[in-house]
Amino acid sequence: MAADALDDGAVYDEARAWYEANWDPAMPVGRWWQTLADSGWGLSWWPNDRFGRGLSHHQSSIADRARRDAGAFGPPNGIGVTLVAPTIFHHGPERLLDRFLPSIASGEALWCQLFSEPAAGSDLAAVATSATRDGDTWIINGQKVWTSGGHLADWAVLMARTDATVPKHRGISFFIIDLHQPGVDVRPLRDMTGDSEFNEVFLTDAVVHHEDLIGELNDGWRAAMTMLSVERDLDAVGHDGGGDVINDVDLSRPAGEVQYEQAHGTESSGFSYSTGSRKDEVTMALVSDTVATDAVVRDAAVGAYMERQVLDWNGARQVNASAVKFQNAELCRRLRDLGFAGGGMATQLGRADQPDGGHFLKSALFAQGMAIAGGTDEIQRNIVGERVLGLPKEPTPTAPTAPA
């Protein structure tokens, strides 16, 4: 019977049995990820014939719970798994799936997202990076910024202007670009957590192949919007692709060892935004003593717990992506404030001094970033107001909608 025809309990049982039979902490990470890819359980929300099982987000989170209960390490993670693959599933072409999916599913290739520019963030349609046709290739010139994981990535999805003569949303195309080439200069930026997880990327006569176009020429806006909507959905539930890591893991190391380091926050390098419910667990553990004696902290802890329950429910059922992304940003801020209010001096110490490896402090400092990345809170409010509630469009300097 196909897994997508199973009820929730049967999905759990089948996944759990598979993990119990196959998980081996001594197996090198690369082999474990390949085993997961071949089974379809690791990326169970991908299609049946493409390293997945075609499960809904709701059922894939059940399969993922079975994995955690079996103590098994998760599949590879990051933008390739969570954003690039779903966007190509939606917009094609098939040849890009054939070419890129195997190395994404096995964790061999890391990806990043070249959308934002110094003058194109919320107003993403203003992207100025140009793509000029040269036979079967396109020559790319421009600057991107805030590129998460750009310093680790092998490939990127790129928004570039292929026609400057049409209205701005219409002249954009969506390409795959190889980052290992002379025209690409990646310069890390340091954020307030002290890490350098995002970058500036300068593109000077970089080359993209026409066959690496996602969707149609000059229709990149639609593909980019698909990707942003997937991102908001996943951000919203703190979804981490079912996995534990977004790092450039050494694939030859024992999976159990890497899993331990990830779980205890002792990994020495890499790219690991505080995703998923781990930040909840860490924060709740920090305040567990104070909760017993301080009614205000107890109230805040219950509030954060309730918000997580609602968020997970909304996310799993794919309620409006902007609304749940906004709710996730709010939960991140709540957990930050809760930890600082009830966690005492432990929350103020340097990261190396922390029993949790500094996970709380990093999440807390990073909390405001969740309200910006993938579209700011204000933009999510606009989307919900205009597209869900049907409010009038907000006036812009170039196209006023209010009567004169």
Active-site entry in 117, 197, 231, 261: 231
Residue 376 makes contact with ligand FAD by CB under 6 A: yes
Number of residues that bind ligand FAD (CB under 6 A): 19
Tokens of 288: 């567990």
Residue 375 makes contact with ligand FAD by CB under 6 A: yes
Q: Distance between CA atoms of 67 and 345, rounded to whole angstroms?
A: 35
Whole-number minimum distance, CB 373 to ligand FAD, in Å? 3
Q: Give Cα separations from 294 to 157, 173, 338, 364, 382 (angstroms).
A: 48, 55, 12, 21, 38
Residue 382 makes contact with ligand FAD by CB under 6 A: yes
Among 84-92, 230-238, 277-285, 375-383, the segment contacting ligand FAD (CB under 6 A): 375-383
Q: Which of 386, 402, 153 is nearest to 270 (CA)?
A: 153
| Interacting positions 233-262 with ligand FAD (CB under 6 A) | none
Pick the closer one to ligand FAD by CB: 238 or 256: 238
Tokens of 290: 């104070």
| Interacting positions 145-204 with ligand FAD (CB under 6 A) | 146-148, 198
Among 112-120, 255-263, 291-299, 342-350, the segment contacting ligand FAD (CB under 6 A): 112-120
Whole-number minimum distance, CB 236 to ligand FAD, in Å? 15
Q: Does the active-site annotation cover 231?
A: yes
**Count helices and strands in the chain by DSSP H and E runs:** 13, 8
Q: Residue from 77, 116, 173, 314 that binds ligand FAD (CB under 6 A)? A: 116
- CB-based burial label for 94 (10 Å; 0-12, 13-18, 19+): exposed
Helix (H) / strand (E) element for 71: namely none
Tell me which DSSP letter residue 153 carries. Answer: -
Residue 113 makes contact with ligand FAD by CB under 6 A: yes
Cβ–Cβ < 8 Å for 11, 63: yes
Q: Which residues bind ligand FAD (CB under 6 A)?
A: 112-113, 115-116, 121-122, 146-148, 198, 369, 372-376, 378-379, 382
Catalytically annotated residues = 231
